Amino acid sequence: MPTVRIPTQLRSLTGGEGQITVEGSTVAEVLKALEAAHPGFHERLYDDAGKLRRFVNVFVADDDIRFQQGLDTPVGANQTVSIVPAVAGG
């Protein structure tokens, strides 16, 4: 099963856990399973149109899904999905 790395800002939803193992063969399925196991992720990750928020970056292994197949990007059984909030600065 894939592992999801949870950023510090969202660990309150997982009881402080930094990594969660869920089922899923695409990024969309993995994020849906994450929401089912730990409610609250959907509203933090998705906008009202059902798209990932602009400031949410998702990687499978080290590959940004925006340059892959988006939410349809395949996820292997032993791969890691990382949720990385964008950092604003100046």
pLDDT in tens, 1-29: 999 999 999 999 999 999 999 999 999 99
Range 40-55 average pLDDT: 94
Find the helix or strand (DSSP H, E) in which 70 lies.
none
C-beta separation of 28 from 72 below 8 A: yes
Q: How is residue 45 annotated by DSSP?
A: H
pLDDT in tens, 50-75: 999 999 999 999 999 999 999 999 99
Q: Where are the domains of the chain?
A: 3-85
Task: Say which CATH topology domain 3-85 has.
Answer: Ubiquitin-like (UB roll) (3.10.20)
C-beta separation of 58 from 81 below 8 A: yes
Amino acid at 64: D
Distance CA 68, CA 17 (A): 27
The predicted pLDDT at position 88 comes to 64
The gap from C-alpha 28 to its chain's centroid, in whole angstroms, comes to 8
